[in-house]
């Protein structure tokens, strides 16, 4: 299509086409063509409404709707010729529609503006991404639940400050991420429900004098209701910001898990073995098996959070209603969505394929004086000692074991009684890591019974 064709889309206001620089900065078709399906869906709903209320003839409405399907098939088939001279997906579609059906195409834009059109398209696209994120989260949670159920009683070290703290179970650690991602799932659903109002019919900013039926178009497009204020409808990008906010939090959770997988799969830990499908080798070191998928997931949060900050900066100083600045909303959201979906899919694949090395986990669980808290608790519970005193006695026994080069269960009873004479042989019942985790029966604790109960609860929630 030529500049002359583009000018006719605007009417007679501009006698000459924009120069190359203006065309380049003004055009968005290079990226907003991704919204072609949403744009055509919105136009088909709008045309059906115009015909139903008598603003255009039913015949014209049907012709427009059929012509739009032809345009969509060309786009999906890869034969559609996009033009930067026509700026965006809306004008490209409308121009091609006129070539396909002729004069009736000019009636499509009655009672609407590109302002409400782009807001509608973008909302529909983001809504689809929320649905995709929900599916990705559900699949990942299911994979984590399978790991938790398989290893509900496998002991491993729990860490604080990346230092051995107390024994936990593999299942308990997996369930921690289920809880995190469950909150992400809740945020996805909550944000999707809040955004589900239709901007279509708000027109440029003030509504329209045509007797349109906004409830009809909202229902046709799966919205709960029309947006209640036309100024807000065309200027709102909260839905995109919420999408990026939810994506940023979730990507941060994925990054934390990815960091653990990088550490756990190292030769120094050997807690997990990642499958070959999600690992790579080294070009010069034949022994290497690099957790590249985890490392790349760890990096995705930078791009996603960067998009969040970027769009916030675009929107922060804009007066109502629409400003061309808002054309800068889409590329960042598109990139963030692509990377979020990829990270979710890659993490699900890694979790399903990874193997927990039970023997390495158990050996590490018993090292580093991980049952010291159990010893202190026993002194309080059995001997009636104030916890601060018990903490001091336990610290002295840890120092003794460290000096002897052994762990707490390896101390003799006489060793322990040299620090506190009332300690009995019963103390050894709490010093094993399996006894330790089995005793943590408080709600949400690491005891295998608690892990299985929480996994069952999540299975019910997700039905």
We report the CATH number of the domain holding residue 399 as 1.10.40.30
Task: Tell me if 219 is assigned to some domain.
Answer: yes
Q: Is the domain of 277 the same as that of 425?
A: no
Q: Is the domain of 398 the same as that of 322?
A: no
DSSP letter string over 242-279? HHHHHHHHHHHHHHHHHHHHHHHTSTTT--EE--GGG-
Q: Is the domain of 137 the same as that of 45?
A: no
Q: How far apart are CA 261 and CA 82, in angstroms?
A: 44
Q: 210: phi > 0 → left, psi -120 to 50 → alpha, else beta; which?
A: beta
Pairing outcome for strands 225-226 and 197-198: parallel
155 closest CA partner among 363, 408, 395, 353: 363
Phi, psi angle pair for 41, to nearest 5°: -60, -45
Q: Is the domain of 61 the same as that of 169?
A: no
Q: Please, which residues have CB within 8 angstroms of residue 108's CB and are 6 or more apart in sequence?
A: 43, 46, 47, 50, 64, 94, 97
Phi, psi angle pair for 158, to nearest 5°: -95, 145
243 closest CA partner among 133, 117, 118: 133
3-state secondary structure (DSSP) of residue 155: strand
Copy the structure tokens of residue 97. Answer: 């529609």
What number of residues does the chain have? Answer: 463
The residue segments making up the domain with residue 345 are 114-363
Q: Is the domain of 210 the same as that of 154?
A: yes
Q: Is the domain of 406 the same as that of 351?
A: no
The domain boundary, picked from 92, 107, 122, lies at: 107
Q: How far apart are CA 155 and CA 163, in angstroms?
A: 16
Task: Tell me if 187 is assigned to some domain.
Answer: yes
Q: Is the domain of 129 the same as that of 202?
A: yes
The domain boundary, picked from 313, 336, 363, lies at: 363
144 closest CA partner among 453, 341, 353: 353
The domain boundary, picked from 107, 130, 162, lies at: 107
Copy the structure tokens of residue 338. Answer: 């692509």
Q: Is the domain of 345 the same as that of 374?
A: no
Task: Tell me if 15 is assigned to some domain.
Answer: no
Q: Please, which residues have CB within 8 angstroms of residue 435's CB and are 6 or more apart in sequence?
A: 374, 429
Active-site entry in 109, 161, 275, 370: 161
Residue 173 bears catalytic tag: no
Task: Tell me if 9 is assigned to some domain.
Answer: no
Task: Tell me if 12 is assigned to some domain.
Answer: no
Q: Are 123 and 221 in contact (CB under 8 A)?
A: no
Copy the structure tokens of residue 78. Answer: 């890869």
Total tally of structural domains belonging to the chain: 3
Q: Is the domain of 215 the same as that of 259?
A: yes
Residue 73 bears catalytic tag: no
Pairing outcome for strands 197-198 and 355-356: unpaired
Residue whose pair of structure tokens reads 């440029």 in the numeric block: 204
Q: Is the domain of 275 the same as that of 387?
A: no
CA angle 365, 370, 371 (to 5 degrees): 115
Active-site entry in 57, 186, 282, 323: 282
Residue whose pair of structure tokens reads 């990088």 in the numeric block: 262
We report the CATH number of the domain holding residue 216 as 1.20.200.10
The tens-digit pLDDT sequence of the chain (463 residues) is 445 555 555 555 555 555 777 777 877 778 888 999 999 999 999 999 999 999 999 999 999 999 999 999 999 999 999 988 888 888 999 999 999 999 999 999 999 999 999 999 999 999 999 999 999 999 999 999 999 999 999 999 989 898 887 889 999 999 999 999 999 999 999 999 999 999 999 999 999 999 999 999 999 999 999 999 999 999 999 999 999 999 999 999 999 999 999 999 998 999 999 888 877 665 555 455 788 899 999 999 999 999 999 999 999 999 998 888 888 889 999 999 999 999 999 999 999 999 999 999 999 987 767 778 888 988 999 999 999 999 999 999 989 988 998 888 888 999 989 999 989 988 888 888 888 898 889 999 999 999 999 999 999 999 8
Q: What share of the chain is helix, strand, coil (3-state, %, to 5)?
A: 65, 5, 30
Task: Record the pTM.
Answer: 0.88
Q: Cis peptide before 124, with omega less than 30 degrees from 0?
A: no
Q: Is the domain of 376 the same as that of 431?
A: yes
Task: Tell me if 229 is assigned to some domain.
Answer: yes
């Amino acid at each position: 299509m030529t500049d002359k064709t583009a000018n006719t889309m605007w009417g007679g206001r501009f006698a000459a086409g924009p120069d190359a620089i203006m065309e380049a900065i003004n055009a968005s078709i290079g990226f907003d063509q991704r919204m072609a399906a949403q744009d055509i869906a919105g136009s088909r709903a709008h045309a059906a409404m115009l015909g139903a209320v008598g603003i255009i003839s039913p015949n014209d409405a049907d012709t427009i709707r059929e012509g739009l399907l032809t345009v969509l098939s060309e786009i999906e088939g890869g034969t559609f010729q996009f033009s930067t001279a026509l700026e965006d997906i809306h004008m490209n579609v409308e121009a091609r529609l006129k070539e396909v059906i002729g004069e009736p195409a000019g009636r499509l834009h009655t009672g609407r503006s590109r302002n409400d059109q782009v807001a509608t398209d973008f909302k529909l696209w983001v809504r689809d991404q929320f649905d995709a994120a929900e599916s990705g989260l559900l699949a990942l949670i299911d994979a984590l639940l399978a790991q938790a159920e398989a290893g509900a009683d496998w002991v491993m070290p729990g860490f604080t400050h990346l230092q051995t703290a107390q024994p936990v179970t593999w299942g308990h650690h997996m369930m921690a991420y289920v809880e995190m991602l469950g909150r992400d799932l809740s945020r996805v659903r909550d944000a999707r429900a809040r955004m589900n109002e239709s901007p279509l019919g708000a027109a440029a900013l003030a509504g329209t004098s045509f007797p349109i039926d906004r409830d009809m178009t909202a229902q046709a497009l799966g919205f709960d209701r029309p947006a209640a204020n036309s100024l807000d409808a065309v200027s709102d990008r909260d839905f995109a910001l919420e999408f990026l906010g939810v994506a940023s939090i979730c990507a941060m959770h994925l990054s934390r898990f990815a960091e653990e997988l990088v550490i756990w799969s190292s030769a120094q830990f050997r807690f997990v073995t990642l499958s070959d499908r999600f690992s790579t080798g080294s070009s010069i070191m034949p022994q290497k098996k690099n957790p590249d998928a985890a490392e790349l997931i760890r990096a995705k949060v930078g791009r996603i959070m960067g998009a969040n900050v970027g769009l916030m900066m675009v929107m922060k100083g804009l007066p109502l209603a629409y400003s061309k600045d808002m054309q800068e909303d889409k590329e960042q959201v598109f990139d963030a969505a692509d990377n979020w979906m990829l990270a979710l899919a890659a993490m699900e694949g890694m979790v399903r394929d990874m193997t927990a090395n039970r023997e390495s986990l158990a050996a590490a669980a018993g090292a580093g004086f991980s049952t010291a808290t159990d010893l202190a608790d026993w002194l309080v519970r059995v001997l009636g000692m104030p916890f601060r005193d018990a903490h001091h006695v336990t610290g002295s026994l840890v120092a003794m074991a460290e000096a002897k080069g052994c762990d707490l269960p390896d101390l003799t009873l006489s060793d322990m009684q040299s620090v506190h004479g009332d300690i009995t042989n019963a103390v050894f019942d709490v010093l094993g890591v399996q006894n330790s985790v089995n005793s943590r029966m408080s709600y949400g604790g690491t005891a295998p019974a608690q892990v299985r109960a929480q996994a069952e609860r999540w299975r019910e929630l997700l039905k």
